[in-house]
């Protein structure tokens, strides 16, 4: 049985699905190092793999970026962890953390197979990325194989070099069964859910996520400003440093029918998805956007920023939703008006969302990881 060590910054719910599924394969013994050193978080709703997750000591350095803050995690004991675990395969979740770089060179020096699992796209360009590009190209040349989230990530990797033969698709996934089952249970309770959260019973658009600058919520509100006479609601579910600024913007511009709901843990999210009619993700920078998967599994049409990695793979124009440029409010206003004028399309598009997302599941992701592992081990 081959030891597979995953490195990531935080515990995402995808590991609750992926690690047990890999273990069922009986060829691999997976484990996970969380570089932030943080054991808690709203992401993890099943936590069924706790025994093989480690949290090394971490020092944190926060660096401000154009649309966000970047946290650098420094793990002084990472090399000792790698030597002690002695993995056959190392899966790093990027190239932007010191521990990823240490793991890469450790793997190359000691004959370990190193897999890069990445969702990076051209839409994340920054000064830091420009400076580090030569090293990233070096890493990509010497990495064994790459598992890319989707089309946008694959295209970005190919813009850095001819790595086509190294790339496998590893679409980011949620627990489709969980969200689909819950949405069916709550299907007849939309009116009650709206009443519970103080939302009027009218056409409702929903955003779920962090309330930070890169999520483009000020641009979303700008579009709703131009819908003064429309009988629609916007629900924003989440927390973040921009929340009070947005409330002041709403008050100053007199934007109607905007409602805030505090951040919810994953097991509570189905209620939020099922009080809505249409999901909107207006991000200016978004590696993937797992909330799009969750909304689709919940049977909602999705309106997704062209800057989100998931837009190219999950959104079929006019079938289950639309892709738009959040920097162009008129474009979003037209899409919202489409749903206002064609309410019968909402259920049709929601059913299509659920159908599309079925194929983006844990079995497909596990299969592609196993292919990458097999190819790496055969060399």
* Cα distances (Å, whole numbers) of residue 257 to 200, 206, 227, 234: 9, 12, 10, 6
Amino acid 126: pLDDT: 64
Whole domain around residue 61: which residue ranges? 2-173+361-378
CA distance 329 to 300: 22
Contacts (Cβ under 8 Å, ≥6 apart) of 329 = 219, 222, 223, 225, 226
**32 and 156 share one domain:** yes
> Mean pLDDT across the stretch 72-80?
95
Least confident of 1-15, 302-316, 362-376: 1-15
Contact 341, 291 (CB under 8 A): no
CA dihedral 352, 292, 19, 98 (to 10 degrees): 150
Looking at the predicted structure, is the pLDDT value of residue 137 above 80?
yes
Contact 197, 274 (CB under 8 A): no
Amino acid 337: pLDDT: 95
Q: What is the DSSP string of 231-295?
A: -EEEEEE---TTHHHHHHHHHHHT--SEEEE----GGGHHHHHTT-SEEEE--SSBS--HHHHHH
Contact 293, 287 (CB under 8 A): no
> Mean pLDDT across the stretch 184-193?
94
Q: How many structural domains does the chain have?
A: 2
Look up the CATH number of the domain holding residue 13: 3.40.50.2000
Mean pLDDT of the chain: 92
282: nearest Cα among 350, 223, 362, 359: 223
> Mean pLDDT across the stretch 118-139?
83
Least confident of 69-73, 128-132, 244-248, 253-257: 128-132
**334 and 205 share one domain:** yes
**198 and 257 share one domain:** yes
**17 and 104 share one domain:** yes
**161 and 262 share one domain:** no
Looking at the predicted structure, is the pLDDT value of residue 15 above 70?
yes
**371 and 305 share one domain:** no
Amino acid 212: pLDDT: 95
What confidence tier does 124 reach under pLDDT thresholds 50, 70, 90? confident
Q: What are phi and psi of 286, to 5 degrees?
A: -160, 110
**165 and 287 share one domain:** no
* Percent share of the chain, pLDDT over 70: 95
State the pairing for strand pair 258-261/278-281: unpaired
Helix or strand holding residue 23 (H, E): helix 14-24
Contact 279, 310 (CB under 8 A): no
246: nearest Cα among 215, 285, 269, 273: 215
Amino acid 70: pLDDT: 80
Amino acid 266: pLDDT: 84
Amino acid 191: pLDDT: 94
- pLDDT, tens digit (0-9, with 9 covering 90-100), for 29-64: 999 999 998 876 544 444 556 668 889 999 999 877
Amino acid 69: pLDDT: 76
> Mean pLDDT across the stretch 96-122?
96
**207 and 263 share one domain:** yes
101-139 in b/e form (b: 16+ CB < 10 A) is bbbbebbeeeebbbbbbbbbbebbeeeeeeeeeeebeeb
* Cα distances (Å, whole numbers) of residue 362 to 21, 137, 286, 295: 8, 30, 21, 17
Structure tokens at 362: 């844990």
> Mean pLDDT across the stretch 282-289?
95
Residue 53 or 114, more confident:
114
In three-state secondary structure terms, 17 is: helix
**365 and 329 share one domain:** no
**214 and 80 share one domain:** no
Looking at the predicted structure, is the pLDDT value of residue 25 above 90?
no
* Percent share of the chain, pLDDT over 90: 81
> Mean pLDDT across the stretch 188-212?
96
- pLDDT, tens digit (0-9, with 9 covering 90-100), for 263-274: 988 889 999 999
**156 and 225 share one domain:** no
End-to-end CA distance of the chain: give it in Å, rounded.
17
**104 and 198 share one domain:** no
Amino acid 43: pLDDT: 46
């Amino acid at each position: 049985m081959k030891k597979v060590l995953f490195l990531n910054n935080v515990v995402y719910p995808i590991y609750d699905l992926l690690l047990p599924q890999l273990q069922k394969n009986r060829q691999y013994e997976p484990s996970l190092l969380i570089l932030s050193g943080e054991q808690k978080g709203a992401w993890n709703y099943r936590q069924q793999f706790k025994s093989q997750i480690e949290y090394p000591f971490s020092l944190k350095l926060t660096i401000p970026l154009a649309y966000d803050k970047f946290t650098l995690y420094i793990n002084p004991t990472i090399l000792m962890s790698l030597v002690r675990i002695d993995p056959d395969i190392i899966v790093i979740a990027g190239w932007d953390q010191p521990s990823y770089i240490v793991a890469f060179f450790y793997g190359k020096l000691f004959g370990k197979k190193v897999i890069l699992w990445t969702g990076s796209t051209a839409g994340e360009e920054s000064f830091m990325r420009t400076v580090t590009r030569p090293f990233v190209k070096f890493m990509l040349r010497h990495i064994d194989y790459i598992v890319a989230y989707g089309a946008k990530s694959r295209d970005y990797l190919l813009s850095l070099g001819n790595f086509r033969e190294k790339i496998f698709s590893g679409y980011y996934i949620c627990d489709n069964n969980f969200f689909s089952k819950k949405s069916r249970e709550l299907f007849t309770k939309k009116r009650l859910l709206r009443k519970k959260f103080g939302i009027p019973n009218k056409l409702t658009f929903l955003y779920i996520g962090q309330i930070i600058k890169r999520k483009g919520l000020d641009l979303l509100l700008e579009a709703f400003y131009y819908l003064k006479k429309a009988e629609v609601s916007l629900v924003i579910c989440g927390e973040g440093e921009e929340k009070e600024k947005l409330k002041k913007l709403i008050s100053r511009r007199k934007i109607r029918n905007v409602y805030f709901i505090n951040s919810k843990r994953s097991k509570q999210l189905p209620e939020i998805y099922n009080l809505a009619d249409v999901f909107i993700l207006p991000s200016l920078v978004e590696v993937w956007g797992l909330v799009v998967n969750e909304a689709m599994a919940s049977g909602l049409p999705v309106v997704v920023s062209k800057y989100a990695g998931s837009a190219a793979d999950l959104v079929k124009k006019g079938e289950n939703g639309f892709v738009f440029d959040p920097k162009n409010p008129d474009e979003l206003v037209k899409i919202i008006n489409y749903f206002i004028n064609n309410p019968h399309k909402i259920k049709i598009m929601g059913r299509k969302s659920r159908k599309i997302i079925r194929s983006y599941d844990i079995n497909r992701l596990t299969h592609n990881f196993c292919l990458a592992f097999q190819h790496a081990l055969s060399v």
